[in-house]
Structure 1
């Protein structure tokens, strides 16, 4: 009997040493979960035997229990290294055609040649795609980065259409009397008069911002602020300021529209109330009104319609093979029988091709441009003439409009200051990096400073994670013992949160494992000693005479 017990002890101790050795071997494996050998005693089946007289027949190892305790989190330099702080698992799909699903705690991912996020075994990380900030939760799919970049957006073309938002303080102190004709003349400029930004005597303050057109080209928009003056030398009204706009060194002369009332003067005006807060443009009495201006730049592409009134002289008219060429306005004789033109013996039925050769400047016209802006003086250029090539192209792109918001600007007794100056346009941007938020939002970072939500990563929890089947390569598979996968966003339930540029280390305590190793070594030696002792007892029995 003791031989069987000793052998079972040797067997389970050997398996326990295997488990401990495996834990030690994977102490540096990211996302590894250590195992624990769990022993059980063994009794022979018997009937009618009292409980106090039963002797066990050894030990067994019914299960090696995986320990899913949290491992330490260490930082890395790869933004696609993702650690889970919680009990959740990443959901992986074999590939686009093989939809075998596995689960892992190893968050070491990278991009493949098609932009998919994969692990070392080329399994795809799955999640919900995001388009235009809307998460499509119809189905979990492999996460793929769109490397085509972000298309440019013109200033003022965003869905909310903020355009340029600025908050300024204009100095209310030291108001001086200004006289027309002096070097300090601050008389307002009319809409069709070029504003001289290089003349420091024509404005009080200025600021500038870079704006973008539909193709992502940048333009410099400068704003010049001038106290409203009078030509008769009277003191200017201290709460009225004219605003002059210069785009790429070209004076903007288009119509300015207020959000509350159309401006009928040639230059947009900012008006401040007695409390120093901006009121509105064009009328007095409003309070707390947001003034949104729409600026149309005369320096943009022209919209022109040309009516050609002449055709340049034909340089030559030729026909093939010496056949006659018929020119309008000439009398010819037709055969009364055949109805075919008879030109004196020339073969009937000859097909002629008339080729008109013109100079590259064949289309000539007189033209003039009219700029008629509602509420402002109309501008009409002198009549001119020119010749355009027939193959020429005209730029008929839509002129840009830029909303301007001066809400919350003030007029206080302190120095001029620009507290806020932002615009919503940007040029084309290439993908320059990615990041993952704690709630699982995968974002693309682009060279133009923009970010874009790409996918919602998910975590999977199980009622009994110890029931998962170990598949190797730090992956587990679902079993009936684990229960159904519970899919959700990071930060919900017990799934935990994500940490980008970090990995979860193995949850193996090396010190404890070395102690366990010594313990199982002693157990093995003790079981071997029990077999040796039983052998000596039998030898004593054999030696009896």
Structure 2
């Protein structure tokens, strides 16, 4: 009777179902475990020749497959950065070092004594190495190969700041001193590192150019000689009868050559006395204190004799000088638009001076560009009238129709006036927005930040200040060390030399992009440098795209490799090999290996593990179903046995 065999197949199938459900329940807490499902098929035995299939009762049931469910389990977070989970499809690739490769979703990894990342059973996690440029190398064992981060000398500094435009440059001390805060406008400090990892500081001092012009005096030993200034040898024909440098090209070329050789010099102030051998001139206001001027006599360098603080500078204000001569009777003086009536009684030097002094406040109120008006008398009985303009006005241009005077002094009646051109001084507001920038290593050693040697001395750079200029109308940076650039244009970088005591060849690139001169507090808006000291390994983390990043105590991070993730055309064809691992088979196809997050690969989660995907409630129901099926097949055997006993009793 075939019923016995049929019932036995049912018992075997029910037992397999109970075994699978029990295995799922047993691994409900196994990291990366994938539940299985028992699949059944019926058995039919038919003859080649005989009745049709409709007359075949069937021969029972068979287990056709124990299929695995590769759906993702819940990702649970941990405190161990080496715990990894794949958020999506894919498997970690493991190598036992003997040529056997398996695949797993269980990402509970750890470091062995040699620094390799291994699974709990000692198999090596596979990934891509990285070369010095960050390019991926062939797949191999992943390891933490960097235990320390070597020091790196600072090579780049990004510094942006705002200097308060409201600061009064005129209040600065006349002589710059790095240790005297009153001699510079603002200071800030960057920390840097040398090639051995020692920390240093670079201190920057910014001294706004004051509204003054530097006066230089030199003494030639032989008055019949002529000076050589900034590499230009001047000749007798370059000076007029009063010893002033003149522009009379093409007869002579000294004036033009000197203008090109050294644009810091105010050529209108160059005077040489052939009787005494005295040479004097002034620097333009923007260039004051920016460096030395090389003056030579027959190849010998001359020293600047004007070193006294009280004599070294003169104001950059424009001063107009007039001589007013009193007469008999009454008259009128027109001064900067103010009419001053002079009676016969007041038509004296003292009287006119008093009338002008009485109107000074009114004149200043109506003429904002004028700083002061001063009227004094001389021994000849004349009034010496000085109109002093504000330094910010610079060189005052004449009003329309007036060739010499923007604010002419005119007289009518019995008063005469004349403009004293020789005594007048032109203004110079070119200092506006200019700062001398100094840099010091550890506030001691003056650094070379790009100051070109003074004209006539060479073309190399040397320690000293450079000039930084802001546009005085909008406060934006517009010139660095003589290199001008448009608003929004590329800001020229500075090169700092000598800031690495351990390696004299180290150069630091300083970028001042974003610096401004607005009417707000002086602050550092951004400061960033790329050097660091030696660091020790403090941890390893993984990014979503698989990069293994080592973190060091000096704040640096370094990518050591990329985790490999394997996928299969038919992952259902993988063969379980224990320890929550699978092996590739002909049915699954070869592994397709790529970094996480590429193609169909899932992304990586660090400090996380994938829990088992077993649904306990579903498995408990399967236990009930398996028990019921087993009992039912047992009933079939019991019934068949009863029938057999009946036949035997006939």
Same fold (TM over 0.5): yes
SS across alignment from 2:517 = strand
Give distance in 1, aligned partners of 2:121 and 2:639. Answer: 52
Is 1:434 matched up with 2:540? yes
Deviation at 1:177, TM superposition (A): 5.6
Counterpart selection for 1:300 from 495, 501, 513: 501
Q: C-alpha distance in 1, partners of 2:41/2:147? A: 60
Matched, 1:498 2:604: yes
Structure 1 residues 300 and 399: CA distance shift in structure 2, 3 A: farther
Between the aligned partners of 2:494 and 2:484, the Cα distance in structure 1 is 19
Q: Secondary structure, in 3 states, of the residue corresponding to 1:15?
A: helix
Question: What's the CA shift string for 1:195-214, capped at 9, x where partnerless?
Answer: 433x2212222221210000
Which structure 2 residues correspond to residues 415-494 of structure 1 after superposition, within 5 A?
415-494=521-600
| CA 59–148 in structure 1, closer or farther in 2 if over 3 Å, else same | same
For 1:131 and 1:226, the matched residues in 2 are separated by 47
Partners of 1:208 and 1:44 in 2: how far apart? 93
| Alpha-carbon distance in 2 for matches of 1:134, 1:459 | 19
- Higher percent of residues as strand: 2
Matches of 2:462 and 2:533 in 1, distance apart?
A: 34
Structure 1 residue 275 and structure 2 residue 474: aligned?
A: yes
8 Å CA contact 1:252, 1:298 repeated in 2? no
1:259-314 Cα offsets, whole Å, 9 max, x none, are xx98799412211124322122233752224221122238936xxxxxxxxxxxxx
Q: What CA deviation, in whole Å up to 9, does each residue of 1:118-176 have, x standing for no partner?
A: 01111111111112242233x311111113312111001xxxxxx1101112222x353
Alignment gaps of 5+ in structure 2: 213-312, 317-390, 392-428, 453-458
* CA-to-aligned-CA distance 1:236-268 (integer Å, 9 cap, x gap): 83411222222223132435259xx98799412
Q: Aligned with 1:412: secondary structure?
A: coil
Structure 1 residues 406 and 39: alpha-carbon distance in aligned structure 2, compared to 1, 3 A threshold = same
- Looking at structure 2, the residues matched to 266 and 82 of structure 1 have their Cα atoms a distance apart, in angstroms, of 56
The answer on 1:166 being equivalent to 2:159 is yes
Alignment of 1:75-474 (within 5 A): 75-95=77-97, 98-137=98-137, 139-156=138-155, 163-172=156-165, 174-176=166-168, 178=170, 184-185=172-173, 189=176, 195-197=177-179, 199-229=180-210, 230=212, 231-234=313-316, 237-254=431-448, 256=450, 266-273=464-471, 274-283=473-482, 285-287=484-486, 288-297=489-498, 300=501, 397-398=503-504, 400-474=506-580
Report the counterpart of residue 249 of structure 2 in structure 1: none
Contact 2:467 2:480 in 1 (8 A): yes
- Distance in structure 1 (CA, Å) of the matches to 2:484 and 2:122: 68
| Aligned equivalents of 2:24, 2:52: Cα separation in 1 | 42
Residue 37, structure 1, aligned to residue 38, structure 2 = yes
Shift in CA distance, 247/119, structure 1 to aligned 2, threshold 3 Å? same
Residue 102 of structure 1 aligns to a residue whose secondary structure is: strand
Contact between 2:169 and 2:209, CA under 8 Å: does it hold in 1? no
For 1:122, what is the secondary structure of its paired residue? coil
What CA distance in whole angstroms lies between the structure 2 residues aligned with 1:495 and 1:265? 58
Secondary structure class of the residue paired with 1:537: helix
- Contact 2:187–2:206 (8 Å) recurs in 1: yes
Q: Distance in 1 between matches of 2:133 and 2:580?
A: 33
Provide the aligned length of Structure 1 versus Structure 2.
426
| Contact persistence 1:263–1:282 (CA under 8 A) | no
Cα shift at 1:441: 1.0
Greater Cα radius of gyration, structure 1 or 2 = 2
Give the superposition deviation at 1:403.
1.8
Q: Distance in 2 between matches of 1:24 and 1:177?
A: 83
Separation of aligned partners in 2, 1:43 and 1:177:
107
Distance 1:255 1:223 in 2: 11
- Deviation of residue 518 (structure 1)? 1.1
> Is the partner of 1:449 in helix, strand or coil?
coil
Q: What are the equivalent positions in structure 2 for 1:58-73 lying under 5 Å apart?
A: 58-73=60-75
Structure 2 residue matching 1:280: 3-state secondary structure: strand
Q: Is the 1:263–1:281 contact (alpha carbons within 8 Å) kept by the matching residues of 2?
A: no
Give the secondary structure class of the aligned counterpart of 2:32: coil
What is residue 286 of structure 2 aligned with on the other side? none
5+ residue gaps in structure 1? Answer: 157-162, 190-194, 302-396
The residue matched to 2:626 in structure 1 has which SS?
helix
Q: 1:284 to 1:449 in 2, by over 3 A?
A: closer
Work out the CA distance in 1 between the residues paired with 2:189 and 2:590: 60
* Alpha-carbon offset, residue 233 of structure 1: 4.6
Pick closer, same or farther for the CA change 1:186–1:43 going to 2, 3 Å.
Answer: farther
Question: In structure 1, the residue corresponding to 2:202 is in which secondary structure?
Answer: strand
Q: Which shows bigger deviation, 463-472 or 535-544?
A: 535-544
Is residue 186–residue 226 contact of structure 1 (8 Å, CA) maintained in 2? no
Moved more, 521-530 or 264-273: 264-273
Q: 2-side partners of 1:275 and 1:263: how far apart?
A: 31
TM-score, normalization by structure 2? 0.62
Q: C-alpha distance in 2, partners of 1:283/1:244?
A: 15
Q: 1:299 to 1:86 in 2, by over 3 A?
A: closer
Once the 2 structures are TM-superposed, how far is the Cα of residue 51 of structure 1 from its aligned partner? 2.8
User: What's the TM-score, normalizing by structure 1?
Assistant: 0.74
Preserved contact between residue 130 and residue 455 of structure 1 (Cα < 8 Å): yes
Residue number in structure 1 paired with 2:12: 11
With 220-229 and 435-444 compared, the bigger mean Cα shift is at 220-229
Q: Distance in 2 between matches of 1:213 and 1:506?
A: 52
Once residues 477 and 399 of structure 1 are traced to their aligned partners in structure 2, the CA distance between those partners, rounded to angstroms, is 57
Structure 1: distance between partners of 2:439 and 2:193: 15
